Amino acid sequence: MTLAASAGRWRWKEPSVIPGFGLALGFSLTYLGLIVLLPLAALLLNAASLGWSGFWDIMLEPRTLAALRLSFLAALFAASVNAVFGLIIAWAFVRYDFPGRRLFDALVDLPFALPTAVAGIALTALYAPNGPIGGLLAPLGIKVAYTPLGIVIALIFIGLPFVVRTVQPVLEDLDKELEEAAATLGASRFRTLRSVILPALMPAILTGFTLALARAVGEYGSVIFIAGNIPYVSEIAPLLITIRLEEFNYAGATAIGAAMLMISFSLLLLIHLIQLWQRRRFTHG
Amino acid sequence: MANANLASTPPLGEAAIAPLLPPAHSKTSATGEKAATRWTLIAIAIGFLALFVLLPLGAVFAEAFRAGFGAYWEAVSEPDAVAAIKLTLLAAGIAVPANLVFGIAASWAIAKYEFRGKSLLNTLIDLPFSISPVISGLIYILLFGAQSVLGPFLREHGIEIVFALPGIVLATIFVTFPFIARELIPLMQEQGTAEEEAALTLGASGWRTFWHVTLPNIRWALLYGVILCNARAMGEFGAVSVVSGHIRGETNTMPLHVEILYNEYNFAAAFAVASLLALLALLTLIVKLVLEWLYADQIAGTRRH
């Protein structure tokens, strides 16, 4: 399988009797290049043509900074909530049996399947001051819809499956003998959880958290209905991009877009590093 | 079973076994939680899912039928709604097959051969998943919009991409780009190349090998990828919103039509159209579940997306 071992000299492809390599790879690369890489390069080239000072002028505008900060903090908060509750949900699904378990398990995927705009108006209807949940919270002085809290609610909805679906398979594969060994050695259930189970689940939790975070930072459809979209207060960065586009301010849209792309790439890199760490930890010896 | 056996054992045997059993009052095993803890965790899990998933889903249908069946039917059958439904079907009808062909080609190249740069290609395929939908639309505006380098050329030749069907299709293809490839690659890597090699040795052509050996092996994973891809393609909002131009009856897809109705305070109609999209989501989940039940071993089991 390894390239270096099988060939004395450098070779970029292993010989194979299966035909179609040129066609399959050629088509894939062309399609990838035209659909994904060329348009992304257009964004980066446009951003580069603004120059450093032009780019930073836009980035340091108070409205841009406020929008980026809101998108990132709301996403961070929502992903943290998802990490905690996602873990509990995954735990309940894997370790316990209760009526309706399969139904609820299937429901976890709904945020993946439900169009974001539909989720957005549904959440707004629920959390608006005259809605069933918003109406309960209003007398307590808690406003959810049209505030940053509403944004967090929407981001919790769309990020929920990521943590559950990354933790669940790892939890299923977790060797129960380790827990038995810990118990035999006199560890309390809590100690076992803290010192045996959680460390084993940590890479999966972190991966799920980062996936949810990456998704939430760029989320648009489910947020804009519930957010209220007040500049400096509840205006997320993706929305600011669309506002700049409607103003024909392409430089503004490009700069914010490029900055968000960089955030996405950093998060992607982080996910890869977590997975690398995970693989190294569990393939010891 | 163990308990039933114990109950039927004669008293003497029971007495012999009894010291080995845990005390009857304790229901906890060494690797389980107390009943109270267990039920608290289950209650939290169910409560959280009910609050964040079940309730919004219910709200869509409750709001959709609030004004009655007549209003519902009117909202989903008026000309603008029908145009939006048709456009959504058309855009998905182009985007999904395009990504299907790509998914097969990419997984064939990645799973059946060893070559350098493979892991980079694998990473690049996933790229659209981590990009904001708004940016997925923005990049096509920057590439094909009136202000772009290509803008004057496109205008001269009367080619409309942005604010027209091609832009909507491109944005849809972009956001659903990885879906099918992501399902096929791990499965085909697992299946290896032995069966194809056998077919080729027996004299089958490359295409025949693909049709009669590879395709039957991957058909359920293919269907699985297609339904997930289709759900996202029909429901995509952010990316399509940026490139569509929101021309009513012309470049409005269903999610965009929902937005327009909602912003016009026509809530019942907005939720009526939204309920069709919610039905699509439910249908997608049901098909997905059935496929996971029946063909678990023939689906790669990437449950993440």
Torsion A26-A30-A33-A35 (CA) sign: negative
Mean pLDDT score of chain A, rounded to an integer?
91
Q: Pick A126 or B296 by higher pLDDT.
A: A126
* B4, amino acid identity: A
On whether both B149 and B200 belong to a single domain, the answer is yes
Whether residues B57 and B180 share a domain: the answer is no
Contact in structure between A239 and A229 (CB atoms under 8 Å)? yes
Quick one: B288 and B189 in the same domain?
Answer: yes
Contact (CB<8Å) A250/B121: no
Count of beta carbons in the 10 Å neighbourhood of residue A69: 11
Determine, yes or no, domain membership for B4.
no
* Interchain CB distance below 8 Å, B196 and A184: no
Q: What angle do CA B282, B286, B292 make, to 5 degrees?
A: 140
Q: CA-nearest residue of chain A to B149?
A: A42
* C-alpha distances in Å from residue A244, one per residue of A227, A255, B38, B240, B256: 18, 10, 51, 16, 19
Kindly report the length of chain B.
305
The count of other CB atoms within 10 Å of the CB of residue A148 is 18
**Residues A68, A71, A77, A82, CA torsion sign:** negative
| pLDDT > 90 in chain A, percent | 74
CB A20 within 8 A of CB B205: no
Co-location of B57 and B115 in the same domain: no
In DSSP notation, B93-161 reads HHHHHHHHHHHHHHHHHHHH--BTTHHHHHHHHHGGGGS-HHHHHHHHHHHHSTTSSSHHHHHHTT---
Let me know whether B231 and B91 are in one domain: yes
- How many angstroms away from the CA of A53 is the closest CA of chain B? 21
Q: Which residues of B touch A108 (CB under 8 A)?
A: 49, 53
pLDDT at residue number A8? 60
List Cα–Cα distances, A184 to A208, B19, B22, in angstroms. Answer: 32, 18, 14
A38: which chain B residues are within 8 Å (Cβ-Cβ)? 143
Which chain A residues touch B242 with a CB distance below 8 Å? 241-242, 245
pLDDT of residue A47: 94
Amino acid at B23: P
Output the pLDDT for position A37.
96
Please give the C-alpha separations between residue B304 and each of A165, A167, A282, B63, B140, in angstroms, as whole numbers: 6, 10, 21, 31, 27
The CA distance from B223 to B300, in Å, is 12
More confidently predicted of A278 and B267: B267
Same domain, B133 and B232: yes
Of the pLDDT bands very low, low, confident and very high (cuts 50, 70, 90), residue A285 is very low
Report the alpha-carbon distance of residue A155 to residue A17 in Å, rounded: 49
Same domain, B136 and B211: yes
Question: How many domains would you assign to chain B?
Answer: 2
Q: Can you give the pLDDT at residue A283? A: 62
Residue B294 lies in a domain: yes
Domain that holds residue B44: 30-64
Tell me, what CATH number does B293's domain have?
1.10.3720.10
The single residue listed with the structure tokens 């299946």 is B191
Closest chain A residue to B34, measured at CA: A189
pLDDT in 10s for each residue of chain B, 305 residues: 344 444 444 444 444 444 454 444 444 566 778 888 899 999 999 999 999 999 999 999 999 999 899 999 999 999 999 999 999 999 999 999 999 999 999 999 999 999 999 989 998 999 998 899 999 999 999 999 988 888 899 989 999 999 999 999 999 999 999 999 999 999 999 999 999 999 999 999 999 999 999 999 999 999 999 999 999 999 999 999 999 987 777 889 999 999 999 999 999 999 999 999 999 999 999 999 999 888 888 886 544 43
Q: Please state whether B203 falls in left (phi above 0), alpha (psi between -120 and 50) or beta.
A: left
Instruction: Using only the alpha carbons of chain B, give its radius of gyration.
Output: 27
Whether B22 is covered by a domain: the verdict is no
Residue B161 lies inside a defined structural domain of this protein: yes
How far CA B139 is from CA of B237, B240, B290, in Å, comes to 15, 12, 37
Checking if the pLDDT of A9 tops 90, the result is: no
Could you identify the residue written with the tokens 């290609």? B121
| Residues B168 and B41 occupy one common structural domain | no
In a domain, B239, yes or no: yes
Q: Is B63 on the interface with A (CB under 8 A)?
A: yes
- Please check whether residues B88 and B135 belong to one and the same domain: yes
What is the band of A206 on the pLDDT scale with cuts at 50, 70, 90? Answer: very high
pLDDT digits 0-9 by tens, B230-240: 999 999 999 99
In 3-state terms, what secondary structure has residue A229?
coil
State the Cα torsion B151-B156-B161-B166 to the nearest 10°: -150
Name which of A123, A86, A113, A124 is nearest A209 in CA terms: A86
**Per-residue confidence band for A13, with pLDDT thresholds at 50, 70 and 90:** confident
Chain A residues closer than 8 Å to B300 by CB: none
Query: Do the Cβ atoms of B277 and A114 come within 8 Å?
Result: yes
Q: Is residue B14 part of a domain?
A: no
In Å, how far is B64's CA from the nearest CA of chain A? Answer: 10
Alpha-carbon distance of B253 to B259, in angstroms, equals 10
pLDDT computed for residue B301 by the predictor: 53
Q: pLDDT digit string (tens) for B165-198? A: 999 999 999 999 999 999 999 999 999 999 999 9
One domain for residues B163 and B124: yes
| Contact status of A68 with chain B (Cβ, < 8 Å) | no
Question: Which residue, B14, B40, B64, sits at the end of a domain?
Answer: B64
Q: Is there a single domain that holds both residue B210 and residue B228?
A: yes
In angstroms, the Cα distances linking B145 to A120, A250, B13, B100, B209 are: 28, 10, 85, 27, 44
Q: Which among A66, A72, A114, A75 is positioned nearest to A229, based on CA atoms?
A: A66
- B94 in the same domain as B34: no
Residue B128 covered by a domain: yes
Residue A4 — very low, low, confident or very high, per pLDDT cuts 50/70/90?
very low
Alpha carbon distances (Å) from B279 to A135, A141, B53, B272: 27, 35, 14, 11
Q: B242 — contact with chain A (CB < 8 Å)? A: yes
- Tokens matching residue A11: 């070779």
Contact between residue A153 and residue A144 where contact means Cβ atoms under 8 Å apart: yes
By Cβ distance, the residue of A106, A121, A264 closest to B270 is A121
Model confidence pLDDT, tens digit, residues A70-118:
999 999 999 999 999 999 999 999 999 999 898 899 999 999 999 999 9
Position B11 in a domain: no
